[in-house]
Amino acid sequence: MKFSFKRAEAPSAAPSVAELPQLAGAEIAGWVHGHRVGGDFYQFARANPQRVVFGLLDVAGDYHENRPIVVAAREAFQAKGPACLANDEINEADAMMEFCQELNQSIRSAAKGVRTCAAFLGCYNEELGTVCYINAGHTPGLLRYDSNVSELPATGMPLGLFAASTYEAPTVAVPKGGALLLASRGVVEASNKREEFGLQRLKAHFETMPLTSADEVALSALEAVRHFALSAAEQNDLTTLAVVRPRR
């Protein structure tokens, strides 16, 4: 059975989603399935010749309610990500924490108060093959090498809650032949007869899928949850993002 997937589209009032950045020795891609229900979106921005900033964010609330906040978060991502991480000499962890604080402030300002936004933010270093990341209350990222998959759990609270939240920004390597997969809460929580797809099913699928391209990894995860729960796209947003380092 074939299902329909597409690139995520920005709301008409927002800047359009950036073209997929071309990476040296790696690929990155994001996909969404279904009608826009909530506040999921992914974003990319090149900071300098060696660094690309990416993120998967989920603003709480339904699409029509949170649209202005999503627009503000997109604009802040495109402006603040490159600004914080452009300098070759900066410490990536410190810069990512500054970037996260800027996004947090933008979301709170747009919401005129508290609005929860789970986010997984990363900076891919093309020269080193590493990702410095912050998981702000988001579904764990999944990092695979060979058939081993490890979780990248939360390193701080969701954005949009507190004016002075603190975050940790660890760094992981994405080895050649490895991949990083991010999935929205809607993917993990998609249900079939009250049984959730769950993170463990996603991990099991990720362990065995071919790491041929970022496009195929992101699409394969969506196909797996769609086969599990035919009505998944009506329950919540289904969004994935993948970074792949082919062996070639």
- Answer yes or no: is 228 within a domain: yes
Asked if 26 and 248 count as a contact pair (C-beta separation under 8 A), the reply is no
Residue 18 lies in a domain: no
pLDDT beyond 90 at 221: yes
Q: Please give the pLDDT value at position 12.
A: 29
Report if residue 33 sits inside a domain: yes
Name the average pLDDT for the chain: 88
Residue 53 maps to a domain? yes
Predicted confidence (pLDDT) at residue 235 exceeds the cutoff of 70: no
In a domain, residue 51? The reply is yes
In a domain, 7, yes or no: no
Is 16's pLDDT higher than 90?
no
User: Of how many residues is the chain composed?
Assistant: 248
CATH number at residue 168: 3.60.40.10
**What pLDDT, on the 0 to 100 scale, is given for residue 92?**
98
Round to whole Å and give the CA distance between 142 and 15. Answer: 29
Label residue 232 by pLDDT band (50, 70, 90).
low
What pLDDT is attached to residue 35? 63
Phi then psi dihedrals of residue 98, to 5 deg: -65, -45
Quick: pLDDT tens for 30-70.
Answer: 998 766 666 889 999 999 999 999 999 999 888 788 899 99
What are the backbone angles phi and psi of residue 119, rounded to the nearest 5°? -155, 140
Count of domains for the chain: 1
Three-class SS of residue 31? strand
Q: What's the domain range around 31?
A: 27-245
Q: How far apart are CA 16 and CA 19, in angstroms?
A: 9
User: What's the average model confidence in pLDDT over 15-29?
Assistant: 75
Q: Kindly report the pTM of this predicted structure.
A: 0.90
Domain assignment present for residue 12? The answer is: no
The strand ranges marked E within 178-221 are 178-183, 191-192, 195-196
